[in-house]
Chain A
Amino acid sequence: MIDDTLLEDAAEDLFEDAPCGYLSTRLDGTIVKVNRTFESWTGRDRGELLGRTRFQELLAPGARIYHETHYAPLLRMQGEVRGIAVEILCCDGARLPALINSVLRHDAEGRPQVIRTTVFDASDRRRYEQELLRARRREQEIARELQRGMLSGELPEADGLELDVAYRPGVAGMEVGGDWYDAFWLDDGETVGLVVGDVVGRGIGAAATMGQLRSAVRALASTGLGPAALVTALDEYARRHGVGRMTTLVYAELGLASRRLRYAVAGHPPPLLVVPGEEPCLVWDGRSLPLDAHRVSAHGRGEAIRVLAPGSAILLYTDGLVERRARPLDEGLDDLLREVAARRAEPVAGLVPAVVRALQDAENTDDVCLLAARVGARAVGC
């Protein structure tokens, strides 16, 4: 049997012992009515609160700023606010994590008169949310550490070789992007392998993929495959292991004595060549599709070979250097050519940061990577 007297609660009882805190305040926040639930949750009684305390004074200082800059304006603009998280200062110094809803009550002329607020205990929910937030921040940190670790190796050094790189991590969503570079000696000890690549996606997944592909390129390069065969093998690797689909990269081998440049470009922006006495130019040969672009296909991987004049430089970069929203790619490439042309005589170590700075754009949030190598510069005049 149900006791009907419990179903016929008096309105007063519904208010006082509701399963949520209940407050009415004036527009400036002064509390004019409060229920027993709120009193018992906060340990503050109505004698202390009514007519003397403003609701915002019961909030921790940080939440008070939030109240003034978000809650109060929203309430005025919308007439109600729902689901705002605050911490209420209890009498014993404890903080009650709460979710509050408020409505603005108007008089007959439509002028706002009083604010009604309900308060829900959100202690458990808040703890869980904080755990989630910590986990997400940690993940972003790990991704950044991973990326830093992989991109901080030393560059090859040799007489007759100038090599420099600039890398600026992107800021979109504050997550790490998927650009990477690498430069290493091949086994013959006189050829340098150069890589610049761009993995699809951001965050920890992109960082891990980048690490796998970077290691795979190094391992494959040491077998002496050459650029086209290396990209083919990398394609196979990507397909078999399901990593790095649609990654673009350029892989080049630069012989220091021979000044022979051999390269393959998989869906990546074209390398830029600076030959003494000539205008800088983009090279459009040796191109093929991004990694694993076709699930089942045996499309060929091209490569090209050039013998560079002494003092020539090759620049490899990612699309973040030249691509901008609301601007055709052609214009970005033209800007790059112009900036490089203006600095072509500078040492690579000065050229690289200057070009990145010149093309820097407040609106660009993508990763930016530029790697340049000049060969045989010191041989000139010998």
Chain B
Amino acid sequence: MSVAERNNVVEHGDPRGQPIVFAHGFGCDQNMWRFVWPAFAGERRVILFDHVGAGGSDAGAYNPERYGSLQGYAGDVLEICHELELTDVVFVGHSVSAMIGALAAAAEPERFARLVLVGPSPRYVDDGDYVGGFTREDVDGLLESMDANYLGWSSAMAPVIMANADRPQLGKELTNSFCRADPEIARRFARVTFLSDNRADLARVRTPSLVLQCADDVIAPRAVGEYVHARLAGSRLVLLEATGHCPNLSAPEETVAAIAAYLAS
């Protein structure tokens, strides 16, 4: 199985253009970028993918050891870059994928031209003076929420969802399919996302970066965005008017404009 199949890689735009890779965060899949990527397809090579266990990826490729830390996901990003022979990459990561991109860029800096980090957080749980915004109990509460919501994800449905990645019209008939994932994998991804501490990794990143910070983002509050900006050498911080954690959906025009302005600079 190729990496492109494993991660459900989808390409748009100009195959000879500069590659721009969009990575979705915890929760849903590459559809999170549906209102954003078309703006870059004119002159760039747009690459979308799903993390293993999400969307149309091959859940059978999930391995708890490999994906037990964000490094495993960063490894997948690098494998995608290798297989597609991408260089001079613009990496746009939302939520937890912002840190995944930072880890990938720290490992192979020569491959990345710029990073765009949308709502990044190097650590979600408070730690001493550091305010991530959440307590350990909050994370347990999230896992309970996920349990309560995955009861609708019966084993009878799983094969239908997993086997029809090539027939999206069928997927659309299934409610909430954009955020469906194997419950056990999703629980593990939630743990890895919300219990990781990648603060020390920020200093290893040399790639120029843009931090996009929303107003009133309960997942990644403004103080966290400023923390990331302060510790990422060569980063720029842009505060969006958009509220919430998903400006790629709630304010795509503003998000596109901020990314485009940064890439043009």
A187 within 8 Å of B by Cβ? Answer: no
Surface stretch bound by B, among A57-65, A228-236, A260-268, A303-311? A57-65
A341 to B259, CA, bound (A): 54
Interface assignment of B218: CB less than 8 Å from any CB of chain A: yes
Contact indicator B63/A73 (Cβ below 8 Å): no
Known A-B contacts A28-B216, A62-B140, A65-B145; A73 and B134 likewise in contact (beta carbons under 8 Å): no
Given contact pairs A63-B141, A325-B60, A365-B60, A69 touches B25 in the complex (Cβ within 8 A) = yes
Interface readout for A75-104 with B: 1 if CB under 8 Å, 0 if not? 011100111111100000000010000000
In the complex, the answer to whether A78 meets B142 with C-beta atoms within 8 Å is no
Distance of A365 Cα from B139 Cα, bound (Å) = 27
Q: How far is the CB of B158 from chain A (nearest CB, A)?
A: 9
Q: Shortest Cβ distance from A122 into chain B, in angstroms? A: 9
A349 within 8 A of B: no
Given A62-B138, A326-B1, A362-B61, residue A73 in contact with residue B184 (CB < 8 A): no
Give CA–CA (A69, B218) in the complex, Å. Answer: 11
Q: Give A15-32 interface residues, CB cut-off 8 Å to B.
A: 27-28
Q: A113 CB to closest chain B CB, in angstroms?
A: 13
The answer to whether B243 touches A28 (Cβ under 8 A) is yes
Smallest CB separation, A372 vs chain B (Å):
24
> Is the beta-carbon distance between A65 and B178 smaller than 8 angstroms?
no
Chain B positions 117-155 with a Cβ under 8 Å from a chain A Cβ: 134-135, 137-149, 151-152
Contact partner of A363 among B61, B138, B152, B184, CB < 8 A?
B61
What is the CA–CA distance of A27 and B244 in the complex, to the nearest angstrom?
10
Given contacts A85-B149, A325-B1, A363-B61, A72 and B244 within 8 Å (CB-CB): yes
Bound CA span A32–B156, Å: 40
Given A28-B216, A62-B139, A85-B145, residue A69 in contact with residue B245 (CB < 8 A): yes
> How many angstroms between the C-alpha atoms of A365 and B66 in the bound complex?
12
Chain B residue nearest in CB terms to A83? B152
The answer to whether B95 has its CB under 8 Å from any CB of chain A is yes
Assess A56 versus B218: contact at CB under 8 Å? Given A69-B95, A73-B246, A76-B246: yes
Question: Which B151-193 residues have C-beta < 8 A from chain A?
Answer: 151-152, 175-176, 178-179, 184
Binds B, one of A157-165, A171-179, A314-322, A350-358: A171-179
Known: A69-B245, A172-B60, A325-B1. A74 touches B179 (CB 8 A): yes
Whether A74 pairs with B28 at a CB distance below 8 angstroms is yes
* B63 nearest CB neighbor, chain A only: A362
Cβ A61 vs Cβ B66 within 8 A: no
| A133 beta carbon closer than 8 Å to chain B | yes
Q: CB distance B184 to A133 under 8 Å?
A: no
Residue A70 CB within 8 A of the other chain: yes
Judge if B115 is at the interface, Cβ distance under 8 Å. no
In the complex, which of the residues B139, B144, B147, B249 contacts A76, with contact meaning CB atoms closer than 8 Å? Answer: B249
Instruction: Please tell me if the beta carbons of A365 and B63 are within 8 angstroms of each other in the complex.
Output: yes
Decide if B195 is an interface residue (CB 8 Å cutoff). Answer: no
Q: Are B63 and A70 in contact (CB under 8 A)?
A: no
Known pairs A60-B141, A69-B245, A85-B149; A77 contacts B34 (CB<8 A): yes
Chain A residue nearest to B193 (CB atoms) is A69
Given contacts A66-B149, A84-B149, contact A77 B245 (CB under 8 A): no
Using C-beta atoms within 8 Å of the partner chain, give the interface range for chain A.
35 or more
In chain A, what residue has the closest Cβ to B185? A174
Are the C-beta atoms of A129 and B148 separated by less than 8 Å?
yes
Known: A62-B144, A174-B184, A365-B63. A73 touches B249 (CB 8 A): yes
Residues of chain B within 8 A (CB-CB) of A28 are 216, 243-244
| Residue A126 lies at the interface, judged by CB distance under 8 Å to chain B | yes
CA of A362 to CA of B135 in the docked complex: distance in angstroms?
A: 32
A322-336 interface code vs B (CB 8 A; 1 in, 0 out): 000110000000000
Q: How far is the CA of A77 from the CA of B27 in the complex (A)?
A: 13
Given contacts A65-B142, A76-B249, A76-B250, contact A363 B63 (CB under 8 A): yes
Describe A's contact surface by its main secondary structure.
Answer: helix
B32 partner residues in chain A, CB cutoff 8 A: 73
Select one of B147, B152, B178 contacting A73, CB under 8 A.
Answer: B178
Distance to closest chain A CB from B26 (angstroms)? 6
- Residue among B27, B141, B194 making CB contact with A70, cutoff 8 Å: B27
Chain B 49-75 per-residue mask, 1 if CB under 8 angstroms from chain A, else 0: 000000000001111111000000000
A363 to B3, CA, bound (A): 11
Q: Bound complex: CA of A133 vs CA of B148, how far in Å?
A: 9
CA distance A62 to B146 in the complex (A): 9
Could you give 26 example pairs across A and B, Cβ below 8 Å? A27-B250, A62-B143, A62-B145, A65-B134, A65-B138, A65-B218, A66-B145, A68-B219, A68-B244, A68-B246, A69-B219, A72-B249, A72-B250, A76-B249, A77-B31, A77-B249, A85-B145, A85-B151, A97-B148, A129-B148, A132-B151, A133-B151, A173-B184, A362-B65, A363-B61, A365-B62
Q: A62-B139, A73-B249, A85-B145 are in contact. List 12 more A-B contacts (CB 8 A).
A: A61-B137, A61-B141, A62-B141, A65-B219, A68-B245, A70-B27, A72-B246, A73-B28, A74-B179, A83-B152, A171-B62, A171-B64
The interface of chain B, by Cβ under 8 A from chain A, is 1, 6, 25-28, 31-32, 34, 60-66, 95, 134-135, 137-149, 151-152, 175-176, 178-179, 184, 194, 216, 218-219, 243-246, 249-250
